[in-house]
Amino acid sequence: MAGHKVLTNALDQLKLASEKLGLDKSIYEILKEPKRSILVSVTIKNDDKTIGVFQGIRVQHWDVKGPFKGGIRFHPNVSLDEVTALAMWMTWKCAIVNLPYGGAKGGICCDPKKMSTTELERLTRRYTSLIVDYLGPHRDIPAPDLYTNEQTMAWIMDTYSQLKGYSVPESVTGKPIEIGGSEGRKCATANSVALCTREAAKILKLKLKNATIAIQGFGNVGYNAATVMHQIGCKIVAISDSSGGILCPNGINPERLYLHKVQTGSVQNFDNCTNITNEDLLASNCDILIPAAMENQITEKNADTIKAKIVSEGANGPTAPKADKILFEKGVYLIPDILANSGGVTVSYFEWVQNLTRTHWRLEEVNSKLETRIVETFHEVERLSKKEKSDMRTSALMLGVGRVANAINTRGLWP
């Protein structure tokens, strides 16, 4: 049911952008359906000798601008509707930052927290083998997502390479550096969230030094966003994970909190902090809110409780369309996911280029290229927003959907 709601949100956004752009109805009909949806039954031997059967999904939305690109997630709530919505958002995201990719997404419906490393490896390799005919460096290039990481990508790359008979590092991105990964990839999504937040703060004349920040989610994006914002002088006053959250008006040290979570399994019960719920976190007193957890967290039911001046979306699809309208009318400056968190796919593109050319860029070069692209794209979306007198999400969608629609019209349909 949650996945269906997420897909409804994505389709509503596509319809809004299509109407604002005045697109031909046939283009809208093309874009609202993915080019290909792959469902597989992933069967593995568990450590206790029983057989586990899991549903695997890969949705390839549209590749009119280049090969499919998108993450693979492991989560109990993975569904076809959810993955379809995420693949659609990836199409717009790649187009917004002018990457030669189309959008895709994948996932396996499982609970990785209850699985051993060996079980996860067997699951990953089996899934890869089942969809390998639809993958490849010029066809579909996976990357990490929710509860997957660079180790997962190493398994996918190795499985793909073993089946091809030679090493193909450019078949995935988000790999460990020692097998072709890029400098700066792990923090790339958080860095783009921080860069966009910085540019929005300039527009609002909000000083980031001692600005208060609440972050929902303490995975890769949430932790790294907290670290980056803390390093530039912001005060992290609230953080949450799937078990709940903490509030600390005096500020939270992200590295100390990370060690606490590793030891206890939760951010809660941290020194000198008050335990709160995820709902409390969203409504907390802060200058900047970074939703970096799951989809559909800010809805028409709680949007009016948001007190932040800036909402910078680290997660995919955390805000429902009706909530967008409420936040815009309240004067909240919302930086949409397809812009704010596009650093991940941007540095994935850099990694792919390095692999194709068998080169390796220094961290400074990667971060410089990332900053240039993200800042330019932010202000392109901002200018369109001012011109259209719309919120940032609508203008970002117009930019992304418009570029994909133009590519379809230019290439035409064969036969």
Positive or negative: CA dihedral 258, 213, 88, 61: negative
**Percent of the chain predicted with pLDDT > 70:** 100
**Model confidence over 172-208: pLDDT tens digits?**
999 999 999 999 999 999 999 999 999 999 999 999 9
Domains and their CATH numbers in the chain: 33-169 (3.40.50.10860), 188-340 (3.40.50.720)
Position 260 pLDDT exceeds 80:
yes
Position 135 pLDDT exceeds 70:
yes
Residue that is written with structure tokens 């389709």 in the block? 11
Position 251 pLDDT exceeds 60:
yes
Mean pLDDT, residues 335-360 taken together? 97
**Percent of the chain predicted with pLDDT > 90:** 96
pLDDT at residue 1 in the model: 55
Position 305 pLDDT exceeds 90:
yes
Helix axes 392-411, 2-21, angle to 10 degrees: 70
Distance of CA 36 to the CA centre of its chain: 21
Mean pLDDT, residues 162-167 taken together? 97
pLDDT category of residue 415 using cuts at 50, 70 and 90: confident
Identify whether 105 is a catalytic site residue.
Answer: yes
Q: How many C-beta atoms surround the C-beta of residue 303 within 10 A?
A: 22
- Both structure tokens of 281: 């976190």
**Average pLDDT over the chain, rounded to whole?**
96
Cβ contact 298:319 at 8 Å: yes
Mean pLDDT, residues 280-293 taken together? 96
pLDDT category of residue 4 using cuts at 50, 70 and 90: confident
Annotated catalytic residue, options 65, 105, 175, 261: 105
pLDDT at residue 174 in the model: 97
Residue that is written with structure tokens 């919302």 in the block? 334
Position 377 pLDDT exceeds 90:
yes
- For residue 84, the surrounding DSSP H or E stretch is helix 80-96
Classify residue 241 by its DSSP letter. Answer: E
- Classified as helix, coil or strand, 198 is helix
pLDDT category of residue 62 using cuts at 50, 70 and 90: very high
* Class of residue 310 by CB neighbours under 10 A (exposed 0-12, middle 13-18, buried 19+): buried
Pairing of strands 68-75, 140-144: parallel
Residue ranges of E strands in 201-345: 212-216, 235-241, 244-247, 274-276, 288-291, 310-312, 333-335
pLDDT at residue 2 in the model: 76
Position 157 pLDDT exceeds 80:
yes
**Model confidence over 210-240: pLDDT tens digits?**
999 999 999 999 999 999 999 999 999 999 9
Beta bridge partners of 210: none
